[in-house]
Structure 1
Amino acid sequence: MADAVIRYRSSDEDSARWQGFSRRPGDIVISTRSKSGTTWMQMICALLVLRTPELPAPLSELSPWLDWLVDPPEAVYRRLAAQRHRRVIKTHTPLDGVPFDPLVHYIVVARHPLDMAVSLHHQSLNLDRARLAELTGQTGAPEPGRPRQPVAQALVRWIDADPAPREELDSLPGVMWHLRDAWTRRHAPNVHLVHYDDLSADLGGQMHRLAGLLGLEAPGPELVEAATFDRMRARADRLAPDPVGVLKDRRAFFRTGRSGQGSALLDAATRARYQARAAALAPPDLVAWLHRDR
Structure 2
Amino acid sequence: MTSRKLYLGPLTDNRRWDMIDIRPDDVFVVTPPKCGTTWMQTIVALLFSGDPDVETELSVKMPWVDIRIREMTEVAARLSAMTGRRSMKSHTPMDGLPIDDQATYICVFRHPLDAHFSYRKHVRNIPMSWFDMWYPEDDPDGITFRRFLDGGAEGFDADAMPLAHILQHYKAALALVDRPNVALFHYTDMTRDLPGTFAQLTKLLNISHPKHVLDQLVHAASFDHMKTHAARYAPSGGKGFMKSDSDFFQSGTSGKWVGHLTDQDLTAYEAIMDAHLTPKERAWLEFGAEKGPRA
After superposition, the Cα gap between the structure-2 partners of 1:32 and 1:144, relative to the gap in structure 1 and judged at 3 Å, is closer
Match of 1:287 among 282, 287, 290: 282
Q: Say yes or no: does 1:256 pair with 2:251.
A: yes
Q: Which residue of 2 aligns with 1:157?
A: 146
Q: Which residues of 2 match residues 1-294 of structure 1 at below 5 A?
A: 4-129=3-128, 148-149=137-138, 153=142, 156-159=145-148, 161-167=149-155, 168-169=157-158, 170-218=161-209, 220-242=214-236, 245-292=240-287, 293=291
After superposition, the Cα gap between the structure-2 partners of 1:144 and 1:173, relative to the gap in structure 1 and judged at 3 Å, is closer
After superposition, the Cα gap between the structure-2 partners of 1:158 and 1:199, relative to the gap in structure 1 and judged at 3 Å, is farther
Q: Which residue of 2 aligns with 1:136?
A: none
Deviation at 1:152, TM superposition (A): 9.9
Q: For structure 2, which runs of at least 5 residues remain unmatched after alignment?
A: none
Q: In terms of mean alpha carbon deviation, does 40-49 or 264-273 score higher?
A: 264-273
Q: For structure 1, which runs of at least 5 residues remain unmatched after alignment?
A: 134-141
Distance in 1 of aligned mates of 2:227 and 2:177 = 31
After superposition, the Cα gap between the structure-2 partners of 1:233 and 1:154, relative to the gap in structure 1 and judged at 3 Å, is farther
Distance in 2 of aligned mates of 1:276 and 1:58 = 41
Distance in 1 of aligned mates of 2:143 and 2:258 = 13
After superposition, the Cα gap between the structure-2 partners of 1:181 and 1:145, relative to the gap in structure 1 and judged at 3 Å, is closer
Deviation at 1:82, TM superposition (A): 2.4
After superposition, the Cα gap between the structure-2 partners of 1:262 and 1:45, relative to the gap in structure 1 and judged at 3 Å, is same
Helix, strand or coil at the partner of 1:220: helix
Deviation at 1:267, TM superposition (A): 4.1
Distance in 2 of aligned mates of 1:179 and 1:63 = 22
Superposition CA RMSD, Å: 2.6
Q: In terms of mean alpha carbon deviation, does 258-267 or 163-172 score higher?
A: 258-267
Q: Which residue of 2 aligns with 1:137?
A: none
After superposition, the Cα gap between the structure-2 partners of 1:36 and 1:246, relative to the gap in structure 1 and judged at 3 Å, is same
Deviation at 1:155, TM superposition (A): 5.8
1:29·1:88 contact (CA, 8 Å) conserved in 2? Answer: yes
Helix, strand or coil at the partner of 1:285: helix
Per-residue deviation, residues 45-101 of structure 1 (Å, max 9, x unmatched): 111111111124522222111111111112111222222221110010111111110
Distance in 2 of aligned mates of 1:74 and 1:94 = 23
Distance in 1 of aligned mates of 2:80 and 2:94 = 22
Q: In terms of mean alpha carbon deviation, does 80-89 or 119-128 score higher?
A: 80-89
Name the TM-score, length of structure 2 as normaliser: 0.87
Deviation at 1:165, TM superposition (A): 1.2
Aligned residue identity for 1:166: E
Distance in 2 of aligned mates of 1:210 and 1:3 = 31
After superposition, the Cα gap between the structure-2 partners of 1:248 and 1:89, relative to the gap in structure 1 and judged at 3 Å, is same
Aligned residue identity for 1:252: D
Counting aligned pairs with the same residue, the percent is 33
Distance in 2 of aligned mates of 1:152 and 1:87 = 45
Name the TM-score, length of structure 1 as normaliser: 0.88
After superposition, the Cα gap between the structure-2 partners of 1:3 and 1:187, relative to the gap in structure 1 and judged at 3 Å, is farther
Deviation at 1:221, TM superposition (A): 0.7
Deviation at 1:147, TM superposition (A): 5.9
Distance in 1 of aligned mates of 2:267 and 2:228 = 38
Distance in 1 of aligned mates of 2:145 and 2:12 = 27
Q: In terms of mean alpha carbon deviation, does 146-155 or 249-258 score higher?
A: 146-155
After superposition, the Cα gap between the structure-2 partners of 1:235 and 1:211, relative to the gap in structure 1 and judged at 3 Å, is same
Helix, strand or coil at the partner of 1:106: strand
